[in-house]
Chains A and B, each alone.
Chain A
Amino acid sequence: MDYGTTYLVLAVIFGLFMAWGIGANDVANAMATSVGSKAITIKQAVIIAAIFEFAGAILAGGQVTSTIRKGIVDVSGLGATPEILIYGMLAALLAAGTWLLVASFKGWPVSTTHSIVGSIVGFAIVGMGMDAVYWGKLGKIVMSWVTSPLLAGGISYMLFRSVQVIILDTEKPFENAKRYVPYYVFLVGFMLTLVTIMKGLKHIGLDLSMTDSILIAIGFGVLTTILGKYLVSRVKFDASADRSFHYANVEKIFGSLMVITACAMAFAHGSNDVANAIGPLAAINSIIQTGELSQKSALPMWVLLVGGVGIVLGLAMYGRKVIETVGSKITELTPSRGFCCTISAASTVVLASGMGLPISTTHTMVGAVLGVGMARGISSLNMDVVRGIFMSWVITLPIGGVLAIVFFFILKGFFA
């Protein structure tokens, strides 16, 4: 391979840039629901995001990475010209990055995930032919873009209805909140641990049986519940706060647990979205290391680290400001709502990550918010955004594809 090192350096730079962009922009959507409900400060949000995005990427991000890297296109037909895949993956990173830059500048609801998938498909059609794309798998991925917001919406609707029945609509909402809210975080601890153990820990060499996994997940669930109980026990009833709004103290209880749900959301986001940046990098790396197209090679740890570091850098340099802006504008999402939305979005995203499905965290969050809206829980929602999301489903694939094709030919002309 003539330009092996050059390719790899380029891939690391593009991958870092992409991860930086995710950290700068995308993380804000995951964290803002917690900041917006004033349950945690921006500083806390940045620290939580840095730790748990990183942990999510390393512990549970492998499955989606391998989908991006080798689940969408069949590279076995390339044979003696593995460079094609290198150009293609570099082009895909550039295309997705460019399209996201335009979209976020215009405020369009475009997802990082959708862009990268569109770009990979685009170069594959031109560089390797229609047959190289696993259309069945692609269909499944595209379906998951529709089903993940729906699933999150369904879960958040049911969660919120149960919060209504068990806590809000009772004679003593404060006492009931104190008693029952910690049990909701059991679900968070259980889900995240289970997916991580079953799908993520293989990368660090651990392989546990199903029963062991479930037992450990239950253990972590109980641990988070105990932590939740402790956090809730620190909330003091303040009679003066309830005078103008009778649920002020109840909201404080939900708020005290937003620290936990924010961690879960950051973890889930890290597990799914980091793959967008490092999937192509991993693919390029495996070709350069082995000199051939191997479908089996393992995902090296340093590649995951590149993604994690990129996200944390983006977060530290720019994300803080975006979290602040987004958080200050979604104050309508009170802690009880934010709590339900974050739990359901985090569970859905982690579930998808475990299944190796690259989905959009933000679209999932929007779905979760709409679910609470359906239960008459939010005073006003702007449906134009939903229309925009439908549009982005339709246009992101072709645009990402076309851009990737353009970059593919430029790179090919430059190096070959």
Chain B
Amino acid sequence: MASKNYLTGLFGTSPVAPIQEHMTLVDECVSKLVDLFEFMSKGDVESVENVYHQIAELEQKADDKKHFLREHLPTGLFMPIERQDLLDALRVQDLLANRARDIAGIVVGRKLKFPEQASTRVIELVKATVETCHQALKVVNELDELVETGFRGRAVHVVEEMLIDLDNLESATDRIQVDLRADLFAVEKELYAVDVMFMYRIIESIAEIADDAERVGRRFQLMLAK
């Protein structure tokens, strides 16, 4: 008799799990940068290339997840969070993976190797950036708790504290970045100019990953404020 039922039609696809899965993929993708830079400093070209392929693959998976989520968010949905905030958060999350792939692409394509005086600090910067990304993932993973409490009360405080930590982690990457630029500046005259140019560009891109991880958190702050 009944082939369709409108009570089931009332419930749309929940965006919570997909956006968390997307951020998990993105975080995994960005985390690979640590391996990439460590192999780079050891001069292990083959492993660097290997990691690049892993990063590209994860980025592709995240992309697919993004498209899936966009397709399942029609305008007629009534959600506890603004559709626009959610799509913005998704876009910024996706940007993180894109940047990671771009950085890996430059390192592989130009066979780049940071000078010895800067190589430990660049790994330090990458590690700090990955920490920021982990923290952003933690915030995104609180989304189901936020929905459960209806964006009120204790879960909100938990997330607000996480956001403060996220800010602090991002500031730490800024400080490392300044030092790293100084290190590089001290030795840049002895290096091939075009390579140096790309090194600065990579530093900038890594810093942007940390910035964007913070922006993911800020989107959540907007969701809480409503």
Contact = CB atoms under 8 A, between A and B. Distances in A.
A107 B153 contact: no
A330 B8 CA distance: 6
A21 interface: yes
A173 to B, nearest CB: 8
A107 B5 contact: yes
A160 B150 contact: yes
A378 B80 contact: yes
A29 B5 contact: yes
Contact of B5 (A170, A171, A247, A322): A322
A365 interface: yes
A25 B4 CA distance: 10
A246 interface: yes
A107 B77 contact: no
Contacts of B14: 332, 379-380
Given A105-B3, A107-B9, A388-B6, A245 B78 contact: no
A350 interface: no
Interface stretch (A50-58, A191-199, A351-359, A368-376): A368-376
A315 to B, nearest CB: 13
B69 to A, nearest CB: 11
Interface in A320-350: 322, 325-326, 329-330, 332-334, 336
Contact of B1 (A24, A169, A377): A24
Given A105-B3, A325-B5, A388-B6, A382 B76 contact: yes
A28 interface: yes
Interface in B1-47: 1-16
B11 A330 contact: yes
A29 B10 CA distance: 12
Contact of B10 (A169, A245, A382): A382
B80 A377 contact: yes
A221 interface: no
A379 B16 contact: yes
Contacts of B147: 376-379
B148 interface: yes
A380 B145 contact: no
A29 B155 CA distance: 32
B8 to A, nearest CB: 4
Contacts of A388: 6
Contacts of B145: 245-247
Given A381-B12, A383-B76, A164 B7 contact: no
B153 A168 contact: yes
B195 interface: no
B1 A168 contact: no
The 7 closest A-B pairs by CB, nearest first: A169-B153, A107-B4, A376-B80, A380-B12, A329-B8, A379-B14, A109-B6
24 contacts: A25-B1, A101-B1, A104-B2, A104-B4, A105-B1, A105-B3, A165-B153, A169-B153, A169-B155, A171-B154, A173-B154, A329-B8, A362-B7, A369-B10, A370-B78, A376-B147, A379-B14, A379-B15, A379-B79, A380-B11, A380-B78, A381-B77, A382-B9, A388-B6
